[in-house]
Amino acid sequence: MVKPYYSHGGITIYHGDCLEIMPELEPVDLVLTDPPYGISHPTDYRSRARGKWSVCHNYPPVHGDNNPFDPNPLLNKSEAICLWGANYYCDKLPTTSGWLVWDKERPHLLDQATAELAWTNFIKGIRVFRHLWNGMQRDSELNAFFHPMQKPKALMKWVLTLKWTPQGTILDPYMGCGPVLVAAKELNRKAIGIEIEEKYCEIAARRLSQEVFQF
């Protein structure tokens, strides 16, 4: 079994390829993740001057985003699955009526998406979460710029607290900078994160360490 990169308070991080690590893990109660969509999304935001009214940063390309994403290895890890960005690969997933919508409350004139979608097999109907996320214009985490495809911790806490979401251990096999794990820690939930880029393992571990003492 691969040695954890971080383990504290019911939260565990593994550094490596999730396709190699997941077979060594026991089944979990929920898979909640934001994988690479396979769209080769440009991450040189500052160089392209994407936002004229907000601060932009350049990031390295997201690992694996240059290849089509296959969600099938995730489907046998849990009976409950939530996959962000699934509108890009929904042809590889079972039909569902349970979609989540994150409304970023961005101006519709932007060339970037004003909302994001998640496929689930346990949510009833379509549910919407509204949370501003547009460069420096944010409803939360105003100075937390860690990852080019970063999701807000508040979004992941919303998913975890929906009445249909199962309790128990959470797995995020494409952890990034750790918003799922930080949300889980704040909710006193057990969670496992896997990330192939070590720098993001380090960032996630630092974020989790900062959450240890809450007043």
Question: pLDDT at residue 51 above 50?
Answer: no
Other C-beta atoms within 10 Å of 191: how many?
28
Average pLDDT rounded to a whole number, residues 203-211: 90
Highest-scoring range by mean pLDDT, 5-14, 107-116, 140-149: 5-14
At the second CATH level, the architecture of 6-210 is 3-Layer(aba) Sandwich (3.40)
Average pLDDT rounded to a whole number, residues 156-163: 98
Q: Residue 45's pLDDT band (boundaries 50, 70, 90)? A: low
- Record the pTM: 0.89
Q: Residue 139's pLDDT band (boundaries 50, 70, 90)? A: confident
| Residue 102 backbone phi and psi in degrees, to 5 | -105, 110
Question: pLDDT at residue 2 above 50?
Answer: yes
3-state secondary structure the chain: CCCCCEEECCEEEEECCHHHHHHHCCCCCEEEECCCCCCCCCCECCCCCCCCCCCCCECCCCCCCCCCCCCHHHCCCCCCEEEECHHHCHHHCCCCCEEEEEECCCCCCCCCCCEEEEEECCCCCCEEEECCEECCEECCCCCCCCCCCCCCHHHHHHHHHCCCCCCCCEEECCCCCCHHHHHHHHCCCCEEEEECCHHHHHHHHHHHHHCCCCC
Average pLDDT rounded to a whole number, residues 104-115: 87
Average pLDDT rounded to a whole number, residues 153-181: 97
Quick: pLDDT tens for 168-202: 999 999 999 999 999 999 999 999 999 999 999 99
Quick: pLDDT tens for 52-108: 444 567 767 678 778 899 999 999 999 999 999 999 999 999 999 999 999 999 888
Question: pLDDT at residue 142 above 60?
Answer: yes
The pLDDT score that the predictor gives to residue 55 is 57
The pLDDT score that the predictor gives to residue 43 is 61
Quick: pLDDT tens for 10-41: 999 999 999 999 999 999 999 999 999 877 66
